[in-house]
Amino acid sequence: MLDEGHVDKVSEKLGIKAHQIRAAADLLDGGATIPFIARYRKEATGSLDEVVITTIRDSLEALRELDKRRGAILKTLEESGRLTGELKEKILAAEGLSVLEDIYLPYRPKRRTRASVAREKGLEPLARAIFDQDLPDMRVKAAEFVDADKGVESVEDALAGARDIIAEWISEDEKARAAMRHLFFTKGMLRSKVGSGKEEEGTKFKDYFDWEEPLAKAPSHRILAMRRGENEEVLILRMTPPEEDAVALLEGMFVKGRGEAAEQVRMAVVDGYKRLLSFSMETEIRLETKKRADEEAIRVFQQNLRQLLLAPPLGQKTVLAIDPGFRTGCKVVCLDGQGKLFHTETIFPHQGPERAAAAEETVKKLCERFGVQAIAIGNGTAGRETEAFIGKLGLSREIQVVMVNESGASVYSASEVAREEFPDQDVTVRGAVSIGRRLIDPLAELVKIDPKSIGVGQYQHDVDQRMLKRSLDDVVESCVNRVGVEVNTASKELLTYVSGLGPQLAGNIVKHRNENGAFAGREGLKRVAKLGPRAFEQAAGFLRIRGAKNPLDATAVHPERYQVVERMASDLDASAEDLIRDAGLRARIDIKRYVSDSIGLPTLQDILAELEKPGRDPREGFEAVVFAEGIDKIEDLRAGMELPGVVTNITGFGAFVDIGVHQDGLVHISELADRFVRDPAEVVKVHQKVTVTVLDIDVKRKRISLSMRRKPRNLG
């Protein structure tokens, strides 16, 4: 059940009206997907987009998790008999998890500590008297607690035990922890040093062998890099503020005056900070900075993945795809416009003139025999050499030759999905098919591969894997539904991401299609096993059926709105097909006439836009990248060269660009533009074609430095 208090908190946090939050939450709780809500329930949510709806979902889940933890703490305290009315009020009023845990900390069951040992010796009353700091003679008071039978041999023993108790009180004080947390975040320093004898072993972390910067300003990629170095036992990492600042803060809170008791409290403050609070806070700050770094790295990954998935498709053309190789030859496959494999062969263009001549004849015959319209060449080993070989064959200029990023193709070729698709083919054939299909339709092919394996991440193996998977699944689902899916040709993997389906229903659709032939219209989906009314409602608008009797089945108009379109057509004495074909007819529609309690202007405007461009693909038109001739390997590069390239990955520190030499170069954030750039995504996107200048080449380390500035700094 939706908590109204949660609604109000999310409304205030996001600056969105409560009724919009409530509507989105009710739809989500009812099983609606984010793409469905954003596209087909605009009237309910006030046209909230996918990003906002996702934030609402995550914010509400965080609040529910907080409530779950709050309930567990209350139950534990009640069962132990320690829950007072005042404590309960504080717990119920706690706004965040750290505040809640601070309140609970003094009551949390803990292992035996120096303070608990001192309490067993009966020293808590002394600690309380000292902590109050109004004792006329502290040592006389302490003498009362000397008891050899309890292990308190002297006044000094009694005072030491009392200080241990006071140190624990200070370290568990709610206000002290809040103030210290703020100090760690505002004045904390991130320090990294190389471990003893690890210099040679950890050369990849050389930049962080003696590193220091303010924690608040440390970017995600550096935090994750240093944490990786620490996990690999190369670096020693600390995250603390200046010790004198921390001690001064606590002294200001707990030390009163200059008497003997105050001096004991001062000693307890120093001990409590060094032995307890600093480590406790550092652990917490480590978790929080890791969470923030993860969120930023995942945000960059999401952004890159979206751009990669929405890369322009070549479209339904016959493709000859080549997975290049030197020693083992080049695997060649021929695919029809739907990506169906109908021929496979191996050629050896890089093993002497005789075999190159045979390869030339084979390629020419295949192009003629199958009416090849494009050639896709993987950009891995032997890619540029194979491109050069194809370029010398004198093929028709109408045949496009395209270098295709093959990151993850080997992962696909060895996957269960590939084995199901091609049980009788080896991994090399499957890899070549994947390369060709990526050219025809990148989205349809890339959904078959774990997003972590397609080369657009940043420290993807270091971040929270559960958070990463969910975030990337959100992106894939968003992209698939934004483009729409042709139900009669889509793979099970692509259908899985359609709103409301999932693996089982996607499999059932493919099975039904195989057993009964192509779907004639959207209504036919209702005959698919286990695809009930709710799934149909969620999925139908995103599934396209070209050539259906009802032309609206090929559009993004939802079946629940067909009647509105039919009314529009009837009022103009026309058909839905006439409205799609005739812009003049559409111009005569006054959509305000069709507003009702169930449909408003946002949806009606979407319907008109869809009638104008039915089933339109939101992706840009395809344009191949042509790399510089004669620049095929890193050894061919020289500083100052201007080269064409394509952006393959974006990170917090810059962008990686493929310039056709089998090794992507880095355009550092400082070299992306002639102005200050805060975020590389402001300037570039994945798959963008760019012109770069070579700044520096390190052949041994396979590092290429590039610039997109009009006048690169390092070249004068």
pLDDT digits (tens, 9 = 90+) for 647-662: 999 988 999 999 988 8
**Neighbouring-strand partners of residue 692:** 643
Strand order in the sheet with 235-240: 210-214, 189-194, 235-240
Query: Are 321 and 433 contacting, i.e. CB atoms less than 8 angstroms apart?
Result: yes
User: What does the pLDDT average to over 141-159?
Assistant: 94
Report whether pLDDT(715) > 70: no
Q: What is the spatial distance between Cα 36 and Cα 27, in angstroms, rounded to a whole number?
A: 10
Give Cβ neighbours of residue 502 (< 8 Å, ≥ 6 apart): 496
Q: Which two tokens stand for residue 111?
A: 């292992």
pLDDT band at 623 (very low <50, low <70, confident <90, very high): confident
Report whether pLDDT(713) > 80: no
Nearest residue to 487 via CA among 420, 536, 416? 536
Q: What is the spatial distance between Cα 411 and Cα 454, in angstroms, rounded to a whole number?
A: 9
What integer pLDDT is reported at residue 710 of this predicted model? 87
Q: What is the spatial distance between Cα 656 and Cα 184, in angstroms, rounded to a whole number?
A: 34
**E-assigned strand segments in 176-329:** 189-194, 210-214, 235-240, 319-323
User: What does the pLDDT average to over 71-78?
Assistant: 94
What integer pLDDT is reported at residue 460 of this predicted model? 82
User: What does the pLDDT average to over 557-585?
Assistant: 94
Report whether pLDDT(288) > 50: yes
Convert the pLDDT of each residue in 169-221 to its tens digit.
999 999 999 999 999 999 999 999 999 999 888 888 999 999 999 999 999 99
What integer pLDDT is reported at residue 580 of this predicted model? 93
Q: What is the spatial distance between Cα 317 and Cα 640, in angstroms, rounded to a whole number?
A: 39
Could you give the count of Cα atoms lying within 13 Å of 9 in the half-sphere of its Cβ? 17
Report whether pLDDT(41) > 60: yes
* DSSP string of 258-297, one letter each residue: SSHHHHHHHHHHHHIIIIIIHHHHHHHHHHHHHHHHHHHH
Q: Which two tokens stand for residue 427?
A: 């991994």
Q: Which of 190-199, 243-252, 458-467, 515-524 has the lowest mean pLDDT?
A: 458-467
Query: Are 654 and 671 contacting, i.e. CB atoms less than 8 angstroms apart?
Result: yes
Domains of the chain: 4-107 (1.10.10.650), 114-302 (1.10.3500.10), 319-440 (3.30.420.140), 634-715 (2.40.50.140)
What is the identity of the amino acid at 168? E
Nearest residue to 306 via CA among 613, 689, 687? 687
Convert the pLDDT of each residue in 444-493 to its tens digit.
999 999 888 887 777 888 889 999 999 999 999 999 999 999 999 999 99
Do you know the residue count of the chain?
Answer: 716
**What are the φ and ψ backbone dihedral angles of 190, each rounded to 5 degrees?**
-95, 115
Model-level pTM greater than 0.85?
yes
Q: What is the spatial distance between Cα 61 and Cα 449, in angstroms, rounded to a whole number?
A: 28
What integer pLDDT is reported at residue 716 of this predicted model? 47
Sole residue written with tokens 């000397």:
146
**E-assigned strand segments in 264-415:** 319-323, 330-335, 341-347, 374-378, 400-404
Q: Work out the percent of the chain whose per-residue pLDDT is above 90.
A: 84
Report whether pLDDT(339) > 60: yes
pLDDT band at 624 (very low <50, low <70, confident <90, very high): confident
Report whether pLDDT(598) > 90: no
What integer pLDDT is reported at residue 29 of this predicted model? 93
User: What does the pLDDT average to over 149-178?
Assistant: 95
Q: Which two tokens stand for residue 592?
A: 């305000």
User: What does the pLDDT average to over 234-240?
Assistant: 95
Torsion angle defined by CA atoms of residues 669, 671, 675 and 677, in that order, rounded to the nearest 10 degrees: -10
- If residue 691 lies in a helix (H) or strand (E), which one and from where to where? strand 689-698
Q: What is the spatial distance between Cα 463 and Cα 149, in angstroms, rounded to a whole number?
A: 53
Report whether pLDDT(685) > 70: yes
- Output the average pLDDT for the chain: 93
